[in-house]
Amino acid sequence: MADPPRHDGIAAGTLYNEASRKLVLAFKHGHRIALAPMLARLVSAKLPVAVGENWLAVPVPLHRWRLWSRGFNQSALLARELASLRGCQLLVDGLVRTKITPPLGGLGKKARARVLSGAIAVNPRRAGVLQGANVVLVDDVLTSGATTDACVRILRRAGAQQIVIACFARVLDEALDLPRAT
């Protein structure tokens, strides 16, 4: 209550558990990009009905070096599928990661926030599109919320009106006793 969320809701396809963990790892690190349509369908089913053609699907950005080494942005693949399912406009480069950040797995909420400080920005070429927009911010896994909080903060500064977070899996420590997502 003392620190209310800056976003307008979270739509998670599933809880982060052993089964969803295997899917995420296969998708993200196993290069099983063909999983994107199925994962996106699960997320789409949890999005508010209003999310549609008047919304932008914006993925959580990867730094260009991580994108180069991985070969794809898993959040962008999910955003593309969600945009297609919901009739949203895909804005794949609405946000940019301005500095290299280490993997956040194993870090606590405060450490994650420190690592992400100043790491995400609005793409200056897309600032006008974000002004007054309704945004579906897309990520694969929502762990502590540090990454999405950083993105939401930047989107709000850019003038985004409504921001709903969409993720395939959401970690809820009180519900699960598994290793943290990476």
Mean pLDDT of 136-156: 94
Residue 153: give the domain boundaries.
Answer: 10-170
Mean pLDDT of 68-82: 96
Q: Which pLDDT score is estimated for 110?
A: 84
The reply to whether 87 falls in a domain is: yes
42-62 pLDDT per residue, tens: 999 999 988 888 999 999 999
What's the chain's average pLDDT? 92
Q: Specify which residues 15 forms β-bridges with.
A: 170
The reply to whether 1 falls in a domain is: no
Spatial contact of 180 and 105, defined as CB atoms under 8 Å apart:
yes
Mean pLDDT of 67-76: 95
Banded pLDDT at 162 (limits 50, 70, 90): very high
The reply to whether 30 falls in a domain is: yes
The reply to whether 179 falls in a domain is: no
Which residue type sits at 69? S
The reply to whether 176 falls in a domain is: no
Cα dist from 132 to 16, 69, 141, 152, whole Å:
32, 34, 26, 14
Kindly give the pairing relationship between strand 89-90 and strand 163-170.
Answer: unpaired
The reply to whether 2 falls in a domain is: no
Total of domains in the chain: 1
Angle at 138 between CA 9 and CA 94, to 5 degrees: 110
Say if residue 107's pLDDT is above 80.
yes
- Total-model pTM: 0.91
Q: Which residue has the higher pLDDT, 179 or 84?
A: 84
Banded pLDDT at 104 (limits 50, 70, 90): confident
Q: Which of 157, 163, 176, 152 is nearest to 56 (CA)?
A: 163
Which residue type sits at 43? V
Give me the CATH number covering residue 85: 3.40.50.2020
Which DSSP category does 177 fall into? -
Measured between alpha carbons, how far apart are the two ends of the chain, in Å?
28
